[in-house]
Amino acid sequence: MKEIVILGAGYAGLRALHYLQAGHGDYHITLIDRNDYHYEATDLHEVAAGTQPKEKITYPIRDVIKEKVTTFVQATVTKIDREQQQVLLEDGNKLSYDYLIVSLGFRSESFGIPGVEENALEMVDVPTAEKVYQHIIAQMKDYAQTKKAEDLKIIVCGAGFTGVELLGALSDKRADFAQFAGVAKEKIEIFCVEAVTRLLPMFDEKLADYGITSLKNWGVKFLTGKPIKEIKPGVVVYQDDKETGATKELAANTIIWTTGVSGSRVMDASGFSQRRGRVMVAADLTDPEYSNVSILGDVSAVMNKENNRPYPTTAQIALKMGEYAAKNILTKINGGGEMADFTFKSLGTVASIGNTHAFGTVGHSAVKGFPASFLKKAIMDKSLFETGGFKEVFAKGRFDLYH
């Protein structure tokens, strides 16, 4: 009997599990994750801003386990030994595999900027997202006592997809934050410090402008073309003048770091040939050095042959990768022919800015405002369905008609 081990119960890992559990052949599956729940990584900003409780973006992994074929192990992976075909766990245990799916997800990337780890809040998983929300509320309550202006200020570092969605959710919550502080909504100041001036390059300029202008109209203050050089306690230091390198400081008691991510540290620790935790995979999503190891999602870089650049890491591509890798392994186990290369056609990209607004592209069409927000919720439910099935969509889906 062949042993298939899946590392990580994110979008890619659970999608692969779904297809493997539905397949036939002489194999057993072990799924390993450090948590006993799956979380929708694209919705973390909602927990960080407090627009959704963590229960809404998580579900128990056991809900999707078919015990006849799959064993779930809650443990932290520290290293992969591809030579010995073993996975090493933090608790000292080792697991052997015939086929391995590595889908260990992302971590925050500081780019070596001083003070980031010590003085900024990251938002990479459920505990860190919850910590952001608790921190904001603690500052608001603190203001009610001390009247320190910095308590009312929030800085989001980086206006990428994550930063912009977080800014939208924070804008939705300004009135609630103000209530905790006992001030008018306008007193809550939300800033975004961003290195470049052309924001959100995945969208055309007009569409990106729409998103940013909406946020500005709701009171977000953007400082663009200002690379962050250091984070001191309660202070963001940014380059104000490119020519002279002169810096300026912006003080706030909540500083959130959303300037980009890297793949899991396990990739580096295991000697994979990688850049920022992402391995450039072969055309069938396997490790170029070991064809029994599939590498998916945020730890994987897949070349888009149309523009010779790796595809961006999104939930949509991770789900597709999970399906492909499972089918590839089933084909190998059951002695089928070669799989055609992995290909990906994006259905579109929609960024939410708060609960009732969004913007993006679907096919070649731009979508904006409330209709886009409706579409975004449909996209969220689709991905929830693809890992969790009907049960999770009925329990956690975004449309009231389920509840």
Catalytic residues: 165
The binding track of 129-158 with respect to ligand NAD, each residue x by CB under 6 A or -, is: ----------------------------xx
Q: Does 259 bind ligand NAD (CB under 6 A)?
A: yes
* Residue choice 103, 253, 258, 328 for contact with ligand NAD (CB under 6 A): 258
**Residue with Cβ nearer ligand NAD (46 or 392):** 46
Q: How far is the CB of 341 from ligand NAD (least distance, A)?
A: 22
| Least CB distance to ligand NAD at residue 42 (A) | 4
Helix, strand, or coil (residue 175) = helix
How many residues in the shown chain lie near ligand NAD by CB under 6 A?
24
Return all residues near 343 (Cβ < 8 A) that are at least 6 apart: none
Between CA 226 and CA 239 the distance in angstroms is 5
- The interface with ligand NAD within residues 188-207 (CB under 6 A) comprises 193-196
CA distance 194 to 204: 18
Question: Binding to ligand NAD (CB under 6 A): which residues in 350-379?
Answer: none
Integer distance in angstroms from the first to the last C-alpha of the chain?
Answer: 43
Is residue 40 helix, strand or coil? Answer: coil
Q: Which stretch binds ligand NAD (CB under 6 A): 3-11, 211-219, 253-261, 326-334?
A: 253-261
Structure tokens at 402: 């389920």
The DSSP letter of residue 364 is T
How far is 134 from 300, CA to CA, in rounded Å? 33
> What residue has token string 């940014």?
238
Which listed residue (72, 133, 161, 324) binds ligand NAD by CB under 6 A?
A: 161
| Beta strands across the sheet bearing 274-275 | 274-275, 278-280, 300-301
> Using an 8 Å Cβ cutoff, are 165 and 351 in contact?
yes
Show the tokens assigned to 256.
């959130």
Spatial neighbors of 369 by CB under 8 A, at least 6 apart, are 357, 358, 359
- 42 touches ligand NAD by CB under 6 A: yes
Q: Which of 314, 328, 361, 387 binds ligand NAD (CB under 6 A)?
A: 314
The smaller minimum CB distance to ligand NAD, of residues 194 and 392, is found at 194
Closest by CA to 326, choosing from 80, 21, 3, is 21
| Of residues 99-128, those binding ligand NAD (CB under 6 A) | 111, 113
> Per CB under 6 A, which of residues 204..233 are in contact with ligand NAD?
227-228
Q: Of the two residues 270 and 314, which places its CB atom closer to ligand NAD in the complex?
A: 314
| Stretch touching ligand NAD by CB under 6 A, among 76-84, 210-218, 258-266, 321-329 | 258-266
Q: Which residues bind ligand NAD (CB under 6 A)?
A: 42, 111, 113, 157-163, 193-196, 227-228, 258-261, 312-315
